[in-house]
């Protein structure tokens, strides 16, 4: 059968693109290499417990009844989903903790403005202007050429480099594919997503979002094939002619959208399978990846004194967001307590800890070393958290850890790069006229960003 559109990947962007196209009566097929939907934001069961791979928080929260043009409202409108289906629980409050200073923010940016004014009184006026200026800007990405700088932008309003580091820490952890700095457009998008709109968690975790998307897509007649990877994209130099699956079957389509990543998709066009973790001519050295531990605790963290929803911390004088030389970087990280969202009633307490990690160090470890080093990292990361808050370690009953190589194995993203390549293709365009990129390498990042990206690219390429 020939399809109007084939989409590579059943992550957030692929599913959203699929729904959008199916709404316009296109015959759509989504191909997913793995057995689970969700890609970078999937879920799994281990020892009878359900774990989310990548969910700390959904960014871009807008409260019920809010009908503005914010990304979440746009997604709900374009995918014709009701807000009730996502069952969102907003955060209580989050913190940015640096040595001797703490900033606090909620889903009301006024709280962040007040917190900055208290911790950095001399910068209060400048920071107010940052917020005003960010909110006056369009919600669009720029800096595909990598020339604009969020740090330079912040320095035009603020003098205190520590405050600049503290502002950048959460927005980088939640949406920067580039080390040390980020393009201004991406900064504006992330600043609004994190500080102005804020965080929420769907009841039931990431499953809730995925199930809503898959159900909607199927209800519109969209086809979804799991455990069905794309091995090669055949083309005549101008257009895709057919898609070859892992089992050798060929599928044809007028349009192909790929959420596999730009370099990964080009490797499929060149006939280079990327299952070895490398693609000829593509370096993964500038790609950022993380280690994450998920600890199940026998009592909710708030019961023993860990009250914030999310904490972005840094233990050094300055904040370094970059691929570490060693296997991991303990100097900064993210701590998330899913039970500390308003009204969250989880079956068990959970503490998630995330640190920056070096993919190549993990890729080259022997299986025995890999197992030892994962536990070593998780123990050290927990120790640092225990120095900031009441110790959660005596309450841990189960722990799972995933590394850059886990991320690569389950998503195919080179270098286990959570935010993909630092080079984004905002137009989605590729050298082939009927092949476009959606998701991570298009440029909108995170769960909401990926959904928005799927919609934008489906609208741009799929409506002829």
Q: Does 445 bind ligand FAD (CB under 6 A)?
A: yes
Residue 393: both structure tokens together: 């370690």
Of positions 6, 9, 339, 414, contacts ligand FAD by CB under 6 A: 9
Q: Both tokens of residue 7? A: 């989409």
Q: Which of 39, 349, 415, 443 binds ligand FAD (CB under 6 A)?
A: 39
For ligand FAD, how many residues bind (rule: CB under 6 A)? Answer: 39
Which residue stretch of 155-163, 211-219, 425-433, 446-454 sits at the interface with ligand FAD (rule: CB under 6 A)? Answer: 446-454
Smallest separation (angstroms) from ligand FAD to the CB of 171: 12
Task: Report the alpha-carbon distance of residue 352 to residue 163 in Å, rounded.
Answer: 25
- In whole angstroms, what separates CA 142 from the centre of its chain? 19
> With respect to ligand FAD, which residue has the nearer C-beta, 112 or 290?
290
User: Which residues does 100 contact at the CB level (< 8 Å), separation at least 6?
Assistant: none
Stretch 279-298: interaction string toward ligand FAD, x if CB under 6 A? -----------x-x------
Q: Cα dist. 406→104, 325, 373, 386 in Å?
A: 32, 19, 14, 26
Binding range to ligand FAD, per CB under 6 A, among 50-58, 91-99, 101-109, 152-160: 50-58
Tell whether residue 415 is a contact of ligand FAD (CB under 6 A): no
- Integer Cα distance of 439 and 11 in angstroms: 8
Which residues have a Cβ under 8 Å from the Cβ of 345 and sit 6 or more positions away? Answer: none
Distance (Å) of CA 87 to CA 49, 201, 206: 21, 8, 11
From CA 260, how far away is CA 282, in angstroms rounded? 15
177 near ligand FAD, rule: CB under 6 A: no
Q: Is 218 helix (H, G, I), strand (E, B) or coil?
A: helix
Q: How far is the CB of 134 from ligand FAD (least distance, A)?
A: 19
Q: Max CA-CA distance within the chain?
A: 66
* Collapsed DSSP state (helix, strand, coil) of residue 161: helix
When the beta carbons of 116 and 332 are compared against ligand FAD, the nearer one is 332
Nearer residue to ligand FAD within complex by CB, 98 or 419: 419
CA distances, 46 to each of 51, 292, 401, 421 (Å): 7, 16, 12, 30
Any contact of residue 341 with ligand FAD (CB under 6 A)?
no
Pick from 198, 222, 339, 412 the residue near ligand FAD by CB under 6 A: 412
Q: Assess 407 for contact with ligand FAD (CB under 6 A).
A: yes
Rule CB under 6 A: say whether 198 interacts with ligand FAD: no
From the list 450, 456, 457, 458, which residue makes contact with ligand FAD (rule: CB under 6 A)? 450
Q: Is 340 near ligand FAD (CB under 6 A)?
A: no
Q: Which of residues 345-384 bind ligand FAD (CB under 6 A)?
A: none
Residues 111-130 that bind ligand FAD (CB under 6 A): none
Query: Which one of 35-43, 63-71, 103-111, 427-435 is the stretch in contact with ligand FAD (CB under 6 A)?
Result: 35-43
Q: Which residue from 56, 97, 232, 361 is in contact with ligand FAD, where contact means CB under 6 A? A: 56
Considering only 3, 6, 14, 452, the residue that binds ligand FAD (CB under 6 A) is: 14
Residue 77 Cβ, how far from ligand FAD at the closest point, in Å?
Answer: 19
Report if residue 333 touches ligand FAD, rule: CB under 6 A. Answer: no
> Which stretches of 25-113 are assigned E, i.e. beta strand?
28-31, 43-46, 49-52, 88-90, 94-98, 101-105
Burial degree of 405 (CB within 10 A; 0-12, 13-18, 19+): buried
Compute the distance between CA of residue 227 and CA of residue 246 in angstroms, rounded to an integer.
9
Contact 30, 9 (CB under 8 A): yes
Question: Is 10 a binder of ligand FAD (CB under 6 A)?
Answer: yes
Phi and psi, residue 338, nearest 5°: -55, -25
Among 208, 259, 295, 355, binds ligand FAD (CB under 6 A): 259
Residue 308, φ and ψ in degrees, nearest 5: -65, 160
Work out whether the CA dihedral 230, 235, 238, 239 comes out positive or negative: negative
* Nearest distance from C-beta of residue 93 to ligand FAD, angstroms: 16
Cβ proximity of 361 and 284 under 8 Å: no
Interacting span for ligand FAD (CB under 6 A) from 4-12, 94-102, 103-111, 125-133 = 4-12
Kindly give the pairing relationship between strand 310-314 and strand 43-46: unpaired
Contact set with ligand FAD (CB under 6 A): 8-14, 31-34, 39-41, 53-59, 229-230, 259-260, 268, 290, 292, 407, 411-413, 418, 439-440, 445-447, 450
């Amino acid at each position: 059968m020939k399809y109007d559109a084939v989409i590579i990947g059943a992550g957030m962007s692929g599913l959203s693109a699929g729904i959008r196209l199916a709404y316009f009566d296109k015959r759509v097929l989504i191909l997913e290499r793995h057995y689970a939907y969700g890609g970078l934001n999937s879920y799994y069961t281990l020892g009878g417990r359900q774990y989310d791979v990548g969910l700390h928080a959904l960014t871009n929260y807008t409260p019920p009844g809010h009908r503005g043009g914010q990304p979440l409202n746009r997604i709900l409108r374009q995918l014709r989903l009701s807000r009730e289906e996502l069952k969102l629980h907003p955060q209580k409050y989050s913190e940015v903790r640096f040595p001797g200073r703490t900033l606090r923010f909620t889903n009301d940016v006024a709280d962040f403005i007040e917190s900055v004014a208290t911790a950095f009184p001399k910068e209060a006026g400048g920071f107010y202007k940052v917020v005003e200026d960010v909110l006056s800007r369009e919600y669009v990405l720029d800096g595909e050429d990598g020339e604009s700088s969020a740090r330079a932008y912040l320095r035009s309003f603020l003098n205190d480099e520590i405050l600049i580091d503290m502002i950048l820490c959460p927005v980088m952890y939640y949406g920067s594919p580039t080390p040390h700095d980020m393009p201004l457009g991406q900064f504006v998008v992330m600043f609004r997503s994190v500080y102005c709109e804020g965080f929420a968690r769907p009841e039931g975790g990431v499953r809730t979002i995925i199930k809503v998307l898959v159900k909607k897509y199927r209800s519109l007649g969209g086809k979804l094939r799991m455990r069905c990877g794309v091995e090669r994209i055949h083309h005549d130099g101008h257009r895709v002619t057919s898609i070859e699956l892992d089992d050798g079957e060929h599928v044809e389509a007028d349009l192909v959208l790929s959420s596999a990543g730009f370099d990964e998709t080009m490797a499929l066009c060149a006939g280079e399978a990327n299952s070895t973790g490398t693609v000829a001519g593509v370096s993964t050295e500038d790609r950022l990846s993380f280690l994450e531990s998920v600890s199940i605790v026998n009592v909710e963290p708030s019961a023993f004194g860990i009250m914030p929803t999310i904490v972005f911390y840094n233990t050094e004088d300055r904040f370094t967001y970059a691929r570490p030389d060693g296997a991991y970087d303990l100097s900064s990280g993210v701590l998330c307590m899913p039970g500390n969202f308003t009204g969250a009633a989880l079956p068990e307490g959970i503490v998630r800890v995330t640190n920056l990690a070096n993919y190549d160090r993990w890729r080259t470890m022997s299986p025995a070393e890999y197992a030892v080093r994962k536990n070593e990292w998780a123990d050290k990361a927990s120790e640092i958290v225990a120095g900031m808050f009441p110790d959660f370690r005596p309450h841990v009953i189960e722990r799972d850890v995933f590394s850059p190589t886990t991320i690569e194995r389950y998503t195919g993203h080179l270098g286990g790069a959570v935010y993909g390549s630092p080079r984004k293709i905002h137009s989605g365009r590729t050298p082939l006229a009927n092949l476009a990129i959606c998701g991570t390498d298009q440029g909108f990042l995170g769960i909401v960003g990926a959904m928005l990206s799927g919609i934008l690219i489906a609208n741009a390429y799929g409506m002829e």
